[in-house]
Amino acid sequence: MTRIDDTFARLKVEGKKAFVSYVMAGDPNYEKSLEIVKGLPAAGVDIIELGLPFTDPMADGSTIQLAGQRALEAGQTLEKTLEMVRSFRETDDTTPIVMMGYYNPIYSRGVDKFLQDAKDVGIDGLIIVDLPPEEDEELCIPAQKAGLNFIRLATPTTDEKRLPTVLRNTSGFVYYVSITGITGAAEAQAADVAPEVARIKSDTDLPVIVGFGVKTPETAEAIAGVADGTVVGSAIVQKIADDAPVADVLSFVKSLAEGAHRA
């Protein structure tokens, strides 16, 4: 059982849906980013997705691309991202952290070293968007063996033939991408998402969390109402881009979490 498994078990007992927040590690700088991350659990976040900045973020829209650029320009590295998690764990040993990013920095570090370091600092799961299921031996299987969940994305274009392949080695939860395209694009619609979530859940017992296009407490509530929870990323990252004070960022996150938890 990972922290992710424990969190979903607790939420099920409480009759609540999960609220997952995404922020880019090191945006706009290490100190402010760490302060925001440390404040997320008290704002109602059940699972933290921590973005690993990368120079070629092909799945991300401009908001998160720019966040990655700001972080890199401020000196954020994979090493510093691991250190950020270590610092977070000094005061919080229960909130799951999922590292979300691309394979290149992990490959450059070395898979075995990265997985050992990730486990040591307290990372619970990985979402690596540019590694398809056909490459599971590369990172997914080793990550599972190391005790980390490997979370896969399903999309509106994941058809019945493809879905079992996507789900085969997934653990923790399934991340359903509510819209075709990049992060921060059109707003998600619960009526469109509901049948897709039901289709995925007919093939897996894992929780299904929906992200992309969730920007308001109302949408968070609507989407969480047809899934096991929802993810908000770009809307939070935009607050950080606008140089909002940490307290204002966390207040916005709290409003989103309350929306999801009302579902």
Catalytic residues: 49, 60
Any idea how long the chain is? Answer: 263
Give residue 250's Cα distance to chain centre: 17
Strand partners, 100: 51, 127
Q: How far is CA 261 from CA 8, 68, 85, 224, 258, in A?
A: 13, 29, 25, 8, 5
CB 228 within 8 A of CB 12: no
Alpha-carbon gap, residue 73 to 75, rounded angstroms? 5
Element (H, E) at 17: none
DSSP helix/strand/coil, 159? coil
Tally of CB atoms within 10 A around 108 = 9
